[in-house]
Structure 1
Amino acid sequence: MSVPLPSGFRYRTIDADGVRINCAVGGDGPPLLLLHGYPQTHLIWHRVAPELASEFTVVVADLRGYGDSDKPDTGYSKRLMARDQLLVMRALGFERFAVAGHDRGGRVAHRLALDSPEAVTALAVLDIVPTRFAFEHADKAFGLGFSDPAAIRASCEDYRAAASIDLEHDAVDAGRKLTCPTLVLWGEHSFVGTNYDVLAAWREYAAEPVGEALPCDHYLPEEQPGSTASAMRRFFGGPISR
């Protein structure tokens, strides 16, 4: 891999109900799961994960359809993708954990917190608004913008699910708010930051979200790794994640 994680991280392949999920684990402390977005892999966290590993047991995982995880033909609802990660954390011995997700990973993390509130102690979402909110407020400025054909197909299925089965699941949960502590970070120059009142959007979906814009575009973990790690360390460092 061209941007390796430090040697303190150890790679695992975990079977999540027949879907093999690639992940790396490092550090010591309360468990913290980091999820990437499109079209990245777990390595988007390569500058943030080592900073957090001094205080947390950090798990960075490839979502199904991405990186070195399996790429099944179907099954890309955020509910299934969230369950993959729940099973990964259970396999690693973590029944309760905090989770942070960037971009698509934020959608998966949001669904994970909704479906498994007993497992998620705290949530951070980076440069994303809730799926249902995005489609309800879509206009002509809103749209969808690998050499591995399986990866291309999987990413298309991921986006197709967002416009279909994910919206059905979200409709069932309409009016239901996250109760876990929720951190929202976004890039002040990103599409999300310039087109939405991001915190106001999340207040419709979480009880008491907190957050701020960082001076960057969309890829916070790479453009502002220090500020991203610091914000996450402050937020996840309290007793909520222990």
Structure 2
Amino acid sequence: MDVTVPGATIHARVAGQGEPVLLLHGYPQTHVMWHVIAEELAQSHRVVVADLRGYGQSIAHQADFTFRAMAQDQVALMRHLGHARFDVIAHDRGARTAHRMVLDHPEAVRSIALADILPTLDVWRVMDDWLARKYYHWLFLSQPGDMPQRLINSDPILFLHSALLGLSGAPDAFHPQALADYERAARNPDVVAAWCGDYTAAATTDLDHDRADLGRTSPIPCLILWGSRGVVAHHLDPLEAWRAWFPKAQGHAVEAGHFLIEERPKEVLTSLMRHLGQV
């Protein structure tokens, strides 16, 4: 379905019956990254998988790619579907959107599961030469003007594959149909513009929003997962970092790179089901 919300049209798939759970993807992917886990969760939950504003098949009608705007989109989508309160499971940029959703819409989120991220403020705080090489896209995509888009659009598939391989280290991590969906999205200049708008906001306005909320905590159940072969735990303990926002945060590493949901779906699903069963 395609649901019009203020400032965007959000593309989503819905299936299953039970407690509602929203699944959000990250960069440079689409909602299709949940293809294994969504099907399993739909056996016991009402599952909503959605593309973030400007990503995949969602359309941005305004050039606001802050996590605040993207969180509002998803809350509006869930309300449109009749879900005033729901669980959120999210990866990468979707997880940052989910973090902001809890801060801006605490009444809407029952529990949260965040995959392979540190808080945005912490990423910038610990950014050094090692992390800048690993997360070069944070700096490149946030450059002013249209230079990043023009360079990416000259060979979007090369750029996409480089990004996926660089963050996963596993060229066979992605199902061919999922990879084809990511490629279709990457060929769309509007999607590339959304990538850049997202990372520009994360280097500017999003930091202001998060600084304004420093010291705020949420008591909701929180699961933190990260890839042991990734970079998230290199500088900080992810659990300790997230407990500054979610004191009840629990979690563990998964033997995977950044894309743990696709690299180790069964292991991730087991942790998610345990988390949801305790909410």
TM-score under structure 2 length normalisation: 0.79
Tell whether 2:164 aligns with 1:124: no
Q: Deviations over 1:89-130 (max 9, x none)?
A: 000000000001100111000000111111100000000011
- Code of the residue aligned with 2:15 in structure 1: it is G
Larger radius of gyration: 2
What is the match of residue 208 of structure 1? Answer: 248
Q: How far apart are 1:142 and its partner, in Å?
A: 2.5
Q: Deviations over 1:20-48 (max 9, x none)?
A: 00000011110000000000000000011
Equivalent-residue separation in structure 2 for 1:48 and 1:193 (angstroms): 24
Q: Deviations over 1:186-217 (max 9, x none)?
A: 00001113343111111112111000001111
What is the match of residue 23 of structure 1? Answer: 12
Describe the SS at the equivalent of 2:234. Answer: helix
Equivalent-residue separation in structure 1 for 2:10 and 2:62 (angstroms): 15
**Comparing both structures, which one devotes a greater share of its residues to helix?**
2
Tell whether 2:30 aligns with 1:41: yes
What is the match of residue 8 of structure 1? Answer: none
8 Å CA contact 2:52–2:58 kept in 1: the answer is yes
Runs of 4+ with deviation above 6 angstroms:
none
8 Å CA contact 1:36–1:103 kept in 2: the answer is yes
Alignment of 1:1-242 (within 5 A): 12-72=1-61, 74-143=63-132, 144-145=136-137, 146-238=186-278, 240=279
8 Å CA contact 2:54–2:191 kept in 1: the answer is yes
Gaps of 5+ in 2: 138-185
Equivalent-residue separation in structure 1 for 2:39 and 2:110 (angstroms): 21
What RMSD, in angstroms, separates the aligned Cα atoms of the two structures? 1.1
Q: How far apart are 1:72 and its partner, in Å?
A: 3.9
Q: Deviations over 1:51-109 (max 9, x none)?
A: 11111111000000100000345101100000000000000000000001100111000
- Code of the residue aligned with 2:101 in structure 1: it is L
- Code of the residue aligned with 2:247 in structure 1: it is A
Describe the SS at the equivalent of 2:131. Answer: coil
Equivalent-residue separation in structure 2 for 1:17 and 1:124 (angstroms): 26
Equivalent-residue separation in structure 1 for 2:76 and 2:90 (angstroms): 17
Q: How far apart are 1:230 and its partner, in Å?
A: 1.0
Q: How far apart are 1:135 and its partner, in Å?
A: 1.1
- Code of the residue aligned with 1:100 in structure 2: it is I
- Code of the residue aligned with 1:215 in structure 2: it is E
What is the match of residue 5 of structure 1? Answer: none
What is the match of residue 183 of structure 2? Answer: none
- Code of the residue aligned with 2:195 in structure 1: it is S
Describe the SS at the equivalent of 1:21. Answer: strand
Aligned residues: 228
